[in-house]
Each structure stands twice: as structure tokens, then as C-alpha cells.
Amino acid sequence: MSGHRVSVPDREELAALAARLGYTVDDEIVDVMRAAVEASEPAVARLRARPLPSDGAADPAHGDRWVRP
């Protein structure tokens, strides 16, 4: 982690986003969703803070090319 406390959107924000995107989720699922976002946040925050390699990993197409014969 980067040393500072990470924050994730509150449950109302998540519920509103889910509704805007066309998903029907009840209160329990909103809570679960927030818990899951919170649980993955340290790894995601590490990734956001990590610089990309300088040799082209920015284009995810490299990931598809790796598995081409």
C-alpha cells in the first residue's frame, strides 16, 4: 500500500452507480459489493500507484499477443 488510508465510494454512491448502469441490486448486495471493493482496494491501489514498464505494456493487446502461437 502507498502508506495513506485508501477510501472507497460509500454505499449510496455504489448503489446509484449500479442503478445508472442498469443493474437491480438490493441493500444486501450493495453492502456486499462495497465490502468486496474494500477488500480488493489494497491490491488495486498498489496497481494504480505502480508505474507501467517503459516498453509498451500500456496497450493490453500485448497480453493477447503473448498467448498467440
Partner 1 sequence: MTVTDLLDAYAAGDTDPVAAVDDALTRLKTAHEALNCTIAVLDDRARAAAQESARRWADGTARPLEGVPFGVKDVIDVGGVPTTQGSWNHGDEPAPASATVVRRLEDAGAIPISKDGTTEFAVGGPHPPRFGAVRNPWDPERWAGGSSTGSAAAVAARAVPFALGTDVGGSVRLPSAWCGLTGLKPTAGAIPRTGVFPLSWTTETVGPLARSARDVATLFGVLRGPDGADPRSEQLPPLEVPTTSDLSGLRIAVPGGAFTELCDAAVQAGVDALVRELVAAGAEVVPGEVPSAGDALPIGYQIVFTEAATLHRVDADRWDTYDPVVVRRISQGIVTPAVDYLRALQFRVELQRELDAVFAGADLVVVPTCPSTAPRLPDGTVVVDGQEYPLYAAQSRSTMLGNLTGAPGLAVPTGLAPDGCPVSAQLVAPPHREATALWAARVFQERTDHHRQAPPSAT
Residues making up the chain, counted from first to last = 69
What is the rounded distance in angstroms from the CA atom of residue 26 to the CA atom of residue 24? 7
List all residues 6 or more positions away from 37 whose beta carbon is below 8 Å from its beta carbon. Answer: 8, 9, 14
Among 15, 13, 7, 14, smallest CA distance to 44 is for 7
Q: Which of residues 2-61 bind partner 1 (CB under 8 A)?
A: 9, 14, 17-18, 21-26, 29, 32-33, 36-37, 39-40, 43-44, 46-48, 52-53, 57-58, 60
CB of 53 to partner 1, least distance (A): 6
Contacts to partner 1 by CB under 8 A:
9, 14, 17-18, 21-26, 29, 32-33, 36-37, 39-40, 43-44, 46-48, 52-53, 57-58, 60, 62-64, 66-69
